[in-house]
Amino acid sequence: MSIDLEQNKKLILFDGVCNLCDASVQYVIKHDKNDLFRYTTLQGEVGQAIIKKFDVDTSKMDSILLYSPKKGISYKSTAALKIASKLGFPRHLMVMFLIVPAFIRNWVYDFIAKNRYKWYGKKEECMIPTKELKSKFL
């Protein structure tokens, strides 16, 4: 399966049944003033194709992914910080945390990811985008 992504767009892959992930995607949509991002769930057809293409071990990867046709794939805290860097002031200032070694950033990220269902809950099925947002989802 080819990944049909508009030129100069980036694709955020997220856990479609996670309430925290859903809220995060809604936040990005609200603050993505340059319409840079597109979205898909890790559970969906496009998400599964990217997971397979990049040989992502989903048993070890409890993560948000950021896919760019030119730059490949970013994981965990790196993906989150790269996304934040495109959301304007003051959110873009979070990019400075990239100087913190990934193993430290990802330790925090993994702790939150491991507890996200317990703290924020889980849906029975993936969110369905509204008519207005449907064009942003693959």
Report the Cα–Cα distance between both ends of the chain, in Å, rounded. Answer: 13
The range of the structural domain enclosing residue 77 comes to 10-129
99 lies in some domain: yes
4 lies in some domain: no
Mean pLDDT by 10 residues, the chain (138 residues): 80 89 92 95 89 82 85 93 95 94 94 90 72 78
Of 38, 37, 39, 42, which Cα lies nearest the Cα of 16?
42
What's the confidence (pLDDT) of residue 56? 86
Q: Is 85 helix (H, G, I), strand (E, B) or coil?
A: coil
91 lies in some domain: yes
Taken in order 106, 112, 115, 121, the sign of the CA dihedral is: negative
- Give the C-alpha separation, 135 to 56, whole Å: 26
What's the confidence (pLDDT) of residue 133? 77
5 lies in some domain: no
Q: Are strands 72-75 and 65-68 parallel, antiparallel or unpaired?
A: antiparallel
138 lies in some domain: no
Number of domains in the chain: 1
What's the confidence (pLDDT) of residue 2? 62
HSE, side-chain direction, 13 A CA sphere, residue 130? 4
124 lies in some domain: yes
What's the confidence (pLDDT) of residue 1? 57
Angle value at C-alpha 30, between 138 and 98, nearest 5 degrees: 85
Of 37, 38, 134, which Cα lies nearest the Cα of 88?
37
- Give the C-alpha separation, 43 to 51, whole Å: 10
What's the confidence (pLDDT) of residue 127? 64
- Give the C-alpha separation, 132 to 106, whole Å: 34
89 lies in some domain: yes
- pTM for the model stands at 0.88
92 lies in some domain: yes
